[in-house]
Structure 1
Amino acid sequence: MTSPAFVRTAGEAGVAADMAKKAYRRVFREGMREVGLGRGRVVCSQVAPIVQEESEETSEGVIRKFVQRLEGTGQSTNDRAIPFHDIESVLIPMVGRQGLKSHTLCVSSQVGCAMGCGFCETAQMGLLRSLTPAEIVGQWWAATHERQAKIKNIVFMGMGEPLDNVEAVIRAIEILTDHNGPSVPMSNIMVSTVGKADGLRRLCAQMAEPGWHKLGIAVSINAPNDEIRSQIMPINRATPMAELREAICEIPHVGTHRKICFGYVLIPGVNDAEEHAAELADYLRPFTRDGSPDGSHKGMLNLIPYNPRRDSPWPAPEEEAVERFLGWVRERGVYAKRRRTKGRDTMAACGQLGTEAIRKRRFVGVRLTDSPAGSGG
């Protein structure tokens, strides 16, 4: 919970506001698991343990993927028992313009995912359950206090579709931006979605509230037209690209405080031809300098070389193909950048997160519980 909510709850138990606020700060700022509140009262932070970690060297530092195990949420299969739910998070090293080192934390919002995107490892798991706000915030707590990482940015680009769990994601962001807690600037947080229109409209309503206008939004487009997008992203059958674009245009202050980020995973033989670049540029026209009323770019295309999932039917694209496609869209007026590939060797790159043991199940019986993994949830 946020610090005002915690202070109110503690006050109902007779704890002074100053003492409650200090306890809240110690949990988040100092990483204390237990803090006394006087008269034998103790506040405890419950964070899922890190049970596995993999690392990969890059030019900017070490990428670390860590796995937390949620207790009391096991499921069984016809051929094996899997008495746990694992969630994966990734610490991505960043070096700023002045040479200062920090990290971007990629967090998960669900165990598995129901969206069924053909290129994504998480989608092969199916959806087991959504995370609570505490379990989402617990990933920041573990990265900060158990791995001593200096977190500058947080991106909701891990396991799951954030807007399929939109209320928990909103509550988690409230905690992550709390000035008495993690105190991550709203401008340093980005929520990525495959384009779940109802969830996007709910998030838009929240962004109209004070302090939310600088939240970053990323939309995974990944295709130049409905035919291709429906083949690789089943969500497109429910929300075609034209309807999705309308929903994006409803985002408050669209392109004013932060550009809308459009993700495009470049898959060889699927969406990488010059004609696809032309179609994509036409689709993004309202968010380009030529298409916007004030002559400024409202959106940015983030070109992502495909990172093969397990048993992928497609390879990673050649470097020449990535640069060629990037040139085609830029020639057509699209403000575009390419994402540097990090973590591919350890299955920590974009689209590669997922628990292999769960992925191989034949049947999963889901038992929902609300097991907190952070201070007060």
Structure 2
Amino acid sequence: MAENRGVAYAGPGRVEVVDIDYPEFVLKDGPGVHPANVGRQVHHGVILKVVASNICGSDQHMVRGRTTAPEGLVLGHEITGEVVEKGRDVEFLDIGDLVSVPFNIACGRCANCKARRTGICLNVNPDRPGSAYGYVDMGGWVGGQARYVLVPYADFNALRFPDKQQAMEKMLDLTMLSDIFPTGFHGCVTAGVGVGSTVYIAGAGPVGLAAAASAQLLGAAVVIVADMIGERLQQARAFGCETVDVSAEDPRAGIERILGESEVDAGVDAVGFEARGHGEAAAEEAPAAVLNTMMDVTAAGGSVGIPGLYVTGDPGAADEAAREGSLSVRIGLGWAKSHAFFTGQCPVMLYHRQLMKAILHDRVQIADAVNATPIGLEEAARGYREFDRGAARKYVLDPHGLLGTA
């Protein structure tokens, strides 16, 4: 049996690469596994040799100690890999297939899955609707920042690439299909971005940059990206976005400087609950700041897509209300402007096949947009540290050294 190693949460601010069990077609007890899921048979699953698994901002929330994630939890929900074993009930995948895995774990059988709302599957997480690999309170499915990983309900979940050699050549783009590209795209679609739109995207991390590239793909006339880290703003400008440094400029004033008017057609919050204030308050955490800015700068009748993560429990929050996920949101302003708000996990499966084709036919260069940077699995701790410091990079873990052709 092959050796398996994975990236595990080791307490606030720390991850470690440790020896872990090689996957089997059963969910075993371990850090974060819900007791009701222990012993669950997964004959509908496949075991993947992981080709690429990315470090995500959502992982960083856990690593910073901003969730109730237990130590020892194996991280990683952005997974691309090669099928090396298949369960007895898998019909449509074969050994050797190269697949992208949505971060949503979905059964394909429940009412929500049948409605393509795979982010809130009813059957894979005993705690609540919705599940993901390697994530707190998501059922305990082992994460994919590892050499090998189990993917349940594989016929439904896995997206097979049609040409394995072509896929390897474009792997730094295709690995973004598991999460951030569909997530950014979903933020734009739900915000109503289309041909000729003006768009304000809060956050120039990987999801914000993926949203910016998605807005361009959807035909936006002007894409404005806001952040307070100069390197990330420079990355947004590198592929044609306008930018606002909210540590030095009011968002509304920045929009007016760029557009000649102070509101946009569509807003996308790619920051989430660890938001900070603007201007002089930029050093202070203000978890509702971005949501309130979105209502301020989005025109009446517009929509706000919220792919940024908001949580029900934040032990590191500055006040008691925020620890329970209760924020001081100016809902009256949003109501008065007839805004529509769209939240929750992106249903990756709704978009990933079309976005795969856009990549394969060179309609988008998402790896360039997010500055995809491959590193070895054993370098994961360095990747987490640099990402946490604001590096304008999307770190792609390469557990088997297969990305040399990418």
TM-score bracket for the superposition, by shorter chain length = 0.3 to 0.5
The normalised TM-score by structure 1 is: 0.32
The normalised TM-score by structure 2 is: 0.31
Larger CA Rg, structure 1 vs 2: 1
